[in-house]
């Protein structure tokens, strides 16, 4: 790929996933390091063309009616979690302000399960450093499913979604299923990155190490990026702990019709704080609950035991 903007900096590190394995907490922490610049859009998803259709659908629902330029302007004030960036011109705009930074990167979790992202990133920058974060498949799938329910992406039982994915066999992907099992097949995904990038440029961390040995794990990450570890507090914040919707069907309808994104992107900023508080109280609860049944757990355990 040829440079579009001469003043933009080519990213030299990529946090590629997995989803629900602590990538957002890592990204938030790294933003505090004075020698690091991270894309203002956390997940631009530029290099995973093979699952572009699904990502576009999800991005459209979450950012309904917004253009790249409007999202980028918003992201410069407060980072945006995801927006689907589809061309090099827009992608390189994300890094125009990365001058004088030693480490420049982004964090798109769809890059790990994508079958083409490793190759595309290598073709863009063969010297890039790749950070892979895995999590126990059972815990990751449960967490991912609960997030999908919370957002409103699905109302199906986990077992139903897993049965559908299993029925698709090797044809299963993010385009035709929720891909909970496929996204947890770390061995094949890691092999794909190790196929293109040298061993010294691929770092594999685990969610469990981030929880149980936080400071040492973060130090290893910063050493991998060749950065000083004393410049930031080596403590992760808890991210993506959104409140639970009281009315799941209403939440699902609002998400699927993009009304939810319209309210969040267009009305929330102009609502009086008192009205926002009342709406949150009506719609959300602080009570955390899992939507996974005993039947779901038994089926998931059976699948994981047999694979």
Confidence of residue 4 (pLDDT cuts 50, 70, 90): low
Three-state DSSP at 43 gives strand
pLDDT in tens, 133-150: 999 999 999 999 999 998
Q: What is the pLDDT of the chain when averaged over all its residues?
A: 88
Q: How far is CA 102 from the centre of its chain?
A: 23
% the chain with pLDDT above 90: 63
Task: Check if the beta carbon of residue 127 is closer than 8 Å to that of residue 14.
Answer: no
pLDDT in tens, 232-290: 988 887 765 556 777 777 777 777 776 776 666 666 667 787 777 777 777 777 766 78
Greater pLDDT, 207 or 65 = 207
247: left (phi over 0), alpha (psi -120 to 50) or beta: beta
All domains in the chain, ordered by first residue: 13-138+179-242 (3.40.50.300)
Q: In whole angstroms, give the CA distance from residue 174 to residue 259.
A: 24
pLDDT on residue 62: 67
pLDDT on residue 2: 65
């Amino acid at each position: 790929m040829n440079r579009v903007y001469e003043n933009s900096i080519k990213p030299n590190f990529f946090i590629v996933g997995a989803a629900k394995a602590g990538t957002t907490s890592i990204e938030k922490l790294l933003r505090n390091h004075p020698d690091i610049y991270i894309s203002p859009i956390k997940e631009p998803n530029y290099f995973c063309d093979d699952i572009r259709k699904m990502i576009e659908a999800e991005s459209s629902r979450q950012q309904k009616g917004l253009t790249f330029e409007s999202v980028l302007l918003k992201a410069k004030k407060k980072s945006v979690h995801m927006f689907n960036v589809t061309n090099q011109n827009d992608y390189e705009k994300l890094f125009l302000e990365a001058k004088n930074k030693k480490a420049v990167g982004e964090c798109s979790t769809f890059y790990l399960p994508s079958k083409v992202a490793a190759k595309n990133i290598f073709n863009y920058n063969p010297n890039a450093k790749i950070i892979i974060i895995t999590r126990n498949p059972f815990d990751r799938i449960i967490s991912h499913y609960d997030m999908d329910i919370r957002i409103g992406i699905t109302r199906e039982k986990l077992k139903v979604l897993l049965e559908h994915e299993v029925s698709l066999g090797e044809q299963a992907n993010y385009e035709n299923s929720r891909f909970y099992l496929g996204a947890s097949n770390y061995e094949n995904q890691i092999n794909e990155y190790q196929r293109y990038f040298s061993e010294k440029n691929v770092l594999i961390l685990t969610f469990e190490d981030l929880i149980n040995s936080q400071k040492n794990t973060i130090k290893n990450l910063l050493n991998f990026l060749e950065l000083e570890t004393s410049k930031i507090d080596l403590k992760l914040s808890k991210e993506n702990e959104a409140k639970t919707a009281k009315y799941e069907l209403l939440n699902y309808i609002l998400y699927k019709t993009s009304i939810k994104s319209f309210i969040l992107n267009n009305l929330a900023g102009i609502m009086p704080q008192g009205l926002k508080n009342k709406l949150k109280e009506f719609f959300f609860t602080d009570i955390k609950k899992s939507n996974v049944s005993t039947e779901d757990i038994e089926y998931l355990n059976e699948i994981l035991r047999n694979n």
